[in-house]
Amino acid sequence: MPTTIRSFAKINLGLAIGPARADGFHLLTTLYQTIGAYDLVTIQARPAAGTSITLTSNDERVPLDDRNTAFKSVKLALDAKKIAAEVHIYIDKRLPVQGGLGAGSANAVAALIGLERELSAHGIAPFSGPERLRIAAAVGSDVPLFLIGGAVLGVGRGEEVYPMPDLPVTPCVIALPEIGVSTPQAFREWDARYFPPFPQTTREGWGTRAGAGLTEGAGSDRLEELSRALAAALCEPHSSGVFQEDLAAKTGSPANLVAGANPLHALVRTGIENDFEEVVFPKNPLFGEIKRVLAGPEDPEAAALYVSLSGSGSALFGLYGTPDGARAAVARLDGMGVRSVMTETMPRERYWRSLIVE
Ligand code: C5P
């Protein structure tokens, strides 16, 4: 029996880019959040005398060879297990290819999970959690997050992941402009802006944002700033009240857990941003326009809680207080001829519960 897995996408709630490492990858800090929009990945696998991996898809833009992330994760998994198998993967593509939604990366995890389930029917033991994370990281920087799901802190080159407390289910609209963005190119442009090759005129301002001040090892300050914002915001439902006498009285200090408090509001207040916007937006005025349209009117009932580019784009997303707010954003995007998908954020429990198509 083949196994079919929902391969959910992600958005980034803040993304700070740091300096490039010796291997060319950039240090970064981001909060990934899985969402309800998905591709379907179907796997059929059985032990065989020699390994053969075949891949088909309904979308001709999906590579069908070892450039495909799902192909790579299956190959790495079979190598790690030192077994040969006949594997067929079918990817029913519903999400955009290279949209900043991690769709290809999620496909890799779906294929890995599907493979393990298929092989377990033949008595082959699944991987340990850490081994699975190692294989995912070998496939790509934003692959391991899909082995955690929900709200996930990503550091290192994005592959070092930590489960964060879940945010409440929040209506989400993904805008899909028909513009391609190359992630390596976006990183190169970031470097050209903030880390121009030595020699530089002066060391002041080197590796920093204009006017942000200085120094050696600069660039990492962006990462630290976002880490502090994330930690403080995600803790706020518990901590708020301790620092304010009046709020303490209202919430019953010192056990002042604010019932129903949404850390997303604290995240937005703290000012989470996606650094990629700085290099991606100037290239095409449509991005700025979509961001404004997603944000919506001033009316706090209808306005988005938060709007941002996802990853390096080209997808942008808006988060809304109500499904009606999200529906209105879809209508506004329709009006300007931009395709969109309405979905919602997907907490960890729901992510794992919905992964397998029974
Ligand atoms: O890891 P992944 O294959 O998704 O990365 C694609 C490309 O994006 C890398 O080859 C690299 O050029 C760039 N990248 C980077 N720093 C990261 C992640 C990706 O420079 N943290």
- Taking the C-alpha atoms of residue 213 and residue 202, their distance in angstroms, rounded to an integer, is 12
In angstroms, the CA 358 to CA 350 distance is 15
Q: CB–CB of 12/308 below 8 Å? A: yes
pLDDT at residue 171 above 80? Answer: yes
* CB 187 less than 6 A from any atom of ligand 1: yes
224 C-alpha to center of ligand 1: Å?
20
Greater pLDDT, 262 or 136: 136
Is the CB of residue 185 below 6 angstroms from any atom belonging to ligand 1? no
Using CA atoms of 26, 32, 34, 38 in order, give the dihedral in degrees to the nearest 10: -20
197 pLDDT more than 90: no
Q: Which of these ranges, 1-5, 152-156, 185-189, 206-210, has the smallest mean pLDDT? A: 206-210
Nearest CA to ligand 1 atom 11: 184
- Judge if pTM exceeds 0.85: yes
Q: Which of 142, 166, 191, 275 is catalytic?
A: 142
- Name, in order, each residue with C-beta under 8 angstroms of 175's C-beta and a sequence gap of 6 or more: 290, 293, 294, 315, 316, 317, 318, 333, 338, 339, 340
Position 122 scores a pLDDT of 96
Cα 22 → chain centroid = 24
142 part of the active site: yes
49: its two tokens = 């005398």
Burial class (CB in 10 A: 0-12, 13-18, 19+), 82: exposed
User: What pLDDT does residue 218 have?
Assistant: 55
Q: Which of 36, 132, 88 is nearest to 341 (CA)?
A: 36
- Ligand 1 center–CA 184 separation, angstroms: 6
pLDDT at residue 254 in the model: 52
pLDDT, one tens digit per residue, over 66-114 is 999 999 999 999 999 999 999 999 999 999 887 899 999 999 999 999 9
In the residue annotation, 66 being an active-site residue is answered as: no
Share of residues in the chain with pLDDT > 90 (%): 77
Structure-token pair, residue 121: 């029917």
**pLDDT(251) > 70:** no
Residue range 241-261: mean pLDDT, rounded:
64
Assess whether the C-beta atom of 25 lies below 6 angstroms from ligand 1. yes
pLDDT tens digit sequence for 101-124: 999 999 999 999 999 999 999 999
